[in-house]
A and B are shown apart, each in its own frame.
Chain A
Amino acid sequence: MKKTHFYIFSFLISLFTIGCEDLIVVDVPEGDTKLVVEALLYSTDSIHQITLSNSAPYFDKNQTPRISGALVYIMTNNGDSVGFRETGIGSGRYTANFKLEEGKTYFLNILTAQGRIYRSLGEKLLRVSPLELYQSDEILDSIQGFRPQGYYVSIRTVEPAGIGDFYRWIININGEQQLSPQYFWIADDRLVDGNVIEEFPQFFVYGMMPGDSVSILQTSISARAYNFWYLLQEQVFNSGGPFDTPPGSPEGNVISLSDPNEIVLGYFSVSNAREASITVRQK
């Protein structure tokens, strides 16, 4: 629905061809520095990566500061634990080599060099279906502000029966992860439970030319993670128009045990994932 709002607003603005957008300079407040946990683990990976960083002033143009020297490990509900090692001094990037298992619940633990302790809520590795990619038979014309000319690539998958599946897709075009709003794909199965999903314009990668390669990772996320991504989606789709919702800060699942009032940004998730790729052909 978010996308529809977005397009309707663009359409209205183009309709009157009088609306406009320009860059301006404003003074924004500077909030407290917060810990940011980026710990998104996928079943398709064998080497998992967790990045710890801090938030920074809004108009700061540098990379945000990394948190180095922390002790990072993951525990499962049956007591196993895996330690993560920082790769490169000062990188704030911690890696470990292990396989995620469906049905298991994982917890993230962090002890910073300053002695602060953080722990995540449990995240369970849920089910996910395989998917296929296919390309359109015809080249679609461009629509300004909406799609470029070209073939589209989309997904075909079977949503498993039973309400309560949540999804996030990660789209790579020619090896590059896509970050623009039209590639922010998350969904729940409420309206499509148990059905074949194909030809959903919401899941179209437009503007593909022969030779372009597209790979899509279909991942399961928990209901809590869906809520988190949904709030990030509202930010990504914020167009400044009348259809925006008030900005909220997505609530993560990492808690400070040292200070219960401390807000920790980011999220720890384990996702069951399936990947599919396609190279676009001339048709």
Chain B
Amino acid sequence: MKYFTTLACIFLLLSISALGQKNLTISGYLTDESSGEAIIGAAIYIPELETGTTTNIYGYYSISLPPGNYTLVFSSLGFTTQTKSVDLNSNTTLTFEFEEEEVSLDEIVVEGERQDQNVTSVEMSVERLDAKQVEKMPAFLGEPDIINSLVLLPGVTNVGEGSNGFNVRGGNVDQNLILLDGAPIYNSSHLFGFFSVFNTEATQDVKLYKGGIPAEHGGRLSSVLEIHQKEGNMKKLTGSAGISSIASKATIEGPIIKDRMSFIASGRISYVGYMAKLTPDNADNNIYFYDANAKVNYIINEKNRIFLSGYFGNDAIVFGGDFNFRMQWGNSTTTFRWNHLFNEKLFSNLSVIYSNYDYVLGSTDENTAFDWKSKIVNYNLKYDFTYYASSTNNIKFGLSALEYKFEPGKVVSSSEISAFNEFQVPPENALELGAYISNEQKIGSRLTLQYGLRYSHFINHGAGEVYEYETGVPRNPDYPNSFDGKNEVIGSTTFDRYESIAQYGGFEPRASMIFLLNEHSSLKASYNRTRQYIHLITNTTAPLPINVWKPSGKYVEPSRADQVALGYFKNFNNNTFELSAEVYYKKFYDLVDYVDGAALILNPYVEQDLLKGNGRAYGLEIKAEKRKGKTSGWISYTLARTERTVHGINGDNAYPSNYDKPHDISLVVYHDISEKVEISGVFNYSTGKPITYPDGRYEFDGYVFSNYSNRNGARMPDFHRLDLSLNYWPKRNPDAKVKGKWNFSLFNAYGRRNAFSLSFRQNEDYPQYTEAYRISILGSPVPSVGYSVTF
């Protein structure tokens, strides 16, 4: 009931603003003069009224004011601040191009955002990375990587070097909604986690919500990672190409119709496997990845713009010779967007999104020939609206429908004499519906509230087959983690196309507030509830490309999380330094966990191996950043804990998650030595990850086995690593047509052997002895060289 009260309040506020004085609207698009691309998050300030607004992700702004004479100050970091006088006596459109600020070349400038955004925006728990920033960081094998850079931010961790995915504030890897131009990405890694699927050359910027997730996003518990692909230069044809120790890439962008229509196309291909082939042992083996990005952007007229973007990527691993094994996996996405202005106050965006993740494993050997295929496909229709109601209210609302098709696994024997039978885990289908409304409301000059409500509804539907178990559930809760807990399959029910199998739904309240203490500091607070209806079924340390997503259904429930966060934000020295400190507390409900020895792959009765649990995470995150000048960078410190409590695991006691790292410090420094040379360094220190130690050994059938009791009860040695890089521009002047850049990286500079894990096992020569081994993914410094050109 209380939700309806909240809703009623929102509508009441709406009607109050509608009843107010007759306001007029100033609106328009802000673009970059050099490329014609939209400027996101630029500030528009009206000193007379001490109010303002910012541009949205399409560069659009709108503000309603009483008639009068005003000064409008347009500002964005990296661009010259512009002042315009407006005599407002009718609705006014003010669209113009921003000139890039004349900055000395060797300064790092984080573009496209208001200078004091950190302090003045109601958003909190948000991290941004600019692709240019990422490209200047030291890179593993010289290949700049967005996700490897993200883990340097407070609150973001992973389970170790070269592991798939990332963890945000105690959340599992599958709790991140990763959106590439709005399309969900189901596996963000190449090469099992050494690199991510996002090519920095095609990326504009990256925004990560760790908390305070706005109502327009739903579907995952812990974070939203928005990756915007570049739009393409509207003015002139430009391009870039690069070569690193592991991959080559090239990008071209330019106008199709000057100032109206642009395109960008980018491709990347790795040759890591070809290097490996040079060693005789690997002559028949190969591993590689590639990806392609493309986008077309068309301004039809003042009121209509369309975008079409796509991504396609693939990984392949081949064991040749007599082994005859291959494995391939990849994502592909397509996004169509239509921005439409109904009037200067009502901005809309219609998105039609397709996303697919699939893999295939197979052997071509005649006797064991098989193809094993699996995929998740989704079609998404979204309609989002922003209503610039008044200078103090900014309302967003929208609808979304997302249809999923899950094909968890199908084995096809591909030769006549193959020993494998045809086999299929029943496919599942689901529809996820969402509706939201939220309002950002300014109260006076110091207080801004953002409050909203999302309702999500999930329908697991036919055509499908659902197994029936004796006693009605797949597991007996009295034997939580035991062979005897499996209930017998007694039959199955077949459902027709679109017939509902199971339904879940619920409200997701979201709220944030900011209170400006003074011009340079603020306090923020936020609360959000999130619901997640699909789960990545994985029990390995890091997810594998062959893990499958499972929708909530008859036997698997959706997960839920609640998070509160409080923060203090302060800028110094004319926004040169930014300081932020946040504390958060997060509870997780109904998370999926796994029985010991769970068979999660190609198992039609996988629900028999699933357990249910709760979790919590809490922490303090402090970050100090220098944004301008010859030396820039940040230092961050995170103090955090994350744990799980699952009936049937660890004697029902709470245990730390695999990525629980109580202390985590990152230092990122960029320094310009001269106009042509810039260096950067990254240092990371964290507490060792939790590990389960054996508490005894025993002999059985010739083997010596370990007995384990306290899940994740011990810790591995502390982690620390230093990475360095040097960028050198032989001819760096703004008039040069072609600019080349050398990059020299030294990853793991002092050769630290960080433990990925400890392995407990028998000595090979003396099987009686049991020993502990430290496994390191990087055992020595890794140098690399890269070269890139832009034209």
Q: List A residues at the B interface (Cβ < 8 Å).
A: 1, 4-5, 7-8, 11-16, 18-26, 28-31, 33-34, 36, 38, 40, 51, 53-64, 140-141, 143-145, 177, 179-180, 190-201, 223-224, 227-228, 230-232, 234-236, 238-251, 265-267
Contact = CB atoms under 8 A, between A and B. Distances in A.
A128 to B, nearest CB: 17
Interface string B341-377: 0000000000000000000000101111000000000
Given A26-B772, A196-B419, A241-B541, A58 B706 contact: yes
Contact of B776 (A20, A195, A199): A20
B709 interface: yes
A199 B365 contact: yes
Contacts of A232: 700, 703, 705
Given A14-B279, A228-B483, 14 more contacts: A7-B319, A11-B287, A19-B779, A21-B773, A23-B774, A34-B696, A191-B411, A199-B419, A201-B368, A224-B483, A240-B756, A246-B539, A249-B709, A251-B596
Contact of B192 (A141, A198, A242): A242
A267 B323 CA distance: 35
A242 B756 contact: yes
Contact of A58 (B658, B695, B712): B695
A241 B757 contact: yes
Contacts, number: 260
B733 interface: no
Contact of B597 (A28, A63, A179, A231): A231
Size range of the interface on B? Answer: 35 or more
10 contacts: A13-B777, A30-B695, A31-B707, A36-B699, A40-B701, A194-B421, A232-B700, A232-B705, A235-B705, A236-B761
Contacts of A63: 699, 768
A238 B317 contact: no
Interface stretch (B156-164, B209-217, B524-532): B156-164
Most buried by A among B598, B696, B699, B703: B696
A56 B778 contact: no
A241 B775 contact: yes
Contacts of B540: 5, 242-245
Given A24-B758, A28-B695, A198 B367 contact: yes
Interface string B750-765: 0001001111111010
B769 A61 contact: yes
A265 B597 contact: no
Contact of B160 (A190, A239, A242): A242
Given A21-B774, A25-B772, A201 B780 contact: no
Contacts of B544: 5, 243
A251 B483 contact: yes
A41 to B, nearest CB: 12
Nearest to A25: B772
Nearest to B759: A240
Contact of B419 (A23, A33, A55, A195): A195
A24 B774 contact: yes
B319 A31 contact: no
Contacts of A25: 772
B706 A191 contact: no
B773 A22 contact: yes
B66 interface: no
B696 A14 contact: no
B696 A242 contact: no
B163 A60 contact: no
B192 A248 contact: no
A197 B542 CA distance: 33
Contact of B698 (A14, A64, A201): A64
A239 B541 CA distance: 11
A211 B40 CA distance: 75
In the A-B complex, the 4 residue pairs with the closest CB atoms = A248-B596, A31-B695, A20-B779, A240-B775
Contacts of B696: 30-31, 33-34, 55-58
B692 A246 contact: yes
A58 B768 contact: no
Interface centre among A12, A13, A177, A198 (most CB of B within 10 A): A12
Nearest to A233: B597
A242 B761 contact: no
B636 to A, nearest CB: 25
A195 B415 CA distance: 13
A127 B116 CA distance: 75
Given A19-B778, A195-B421, A251-B482, A58 B770 contact: yes
Contact of A247 (B483, B708, B771, B780): B708
A28 to B, nearest CB: 4
Given A38-B699, A56-B698, A241-B541, A198 B419 contact: yes
B711 interface: yes
A196 to B, nearest CB: 6
B179 to A, nearest CB: 25
A230 B597 contact: yes
Given A31-B695, A198-B419, A240-B757, A140 B322 contact: yes
A240 B760 CA distance: 8
Nearest to B776: A20
Contacts of B164: 242
A201 B483 contact: no
B419 A143 contact: no
Contacts of A235: 705-706
B282 A36 contact: no
Contacts of A227: 483, 597
A246 B541 CA distance: 7
A192 B700 contact: no
Most chain-A CB neighbours within 10 Å: which of B368, B597, B602, B774? B597
Contacts of A1: 601
B276 A242 contact: no
B420 A201 contact: no
A250 B597 contact: yes
Contacts of A200: 367-368, 419
B773 A24 contact: yes
B707 A26 contact: no
Contact of B281 (A33, A144, A242): A144
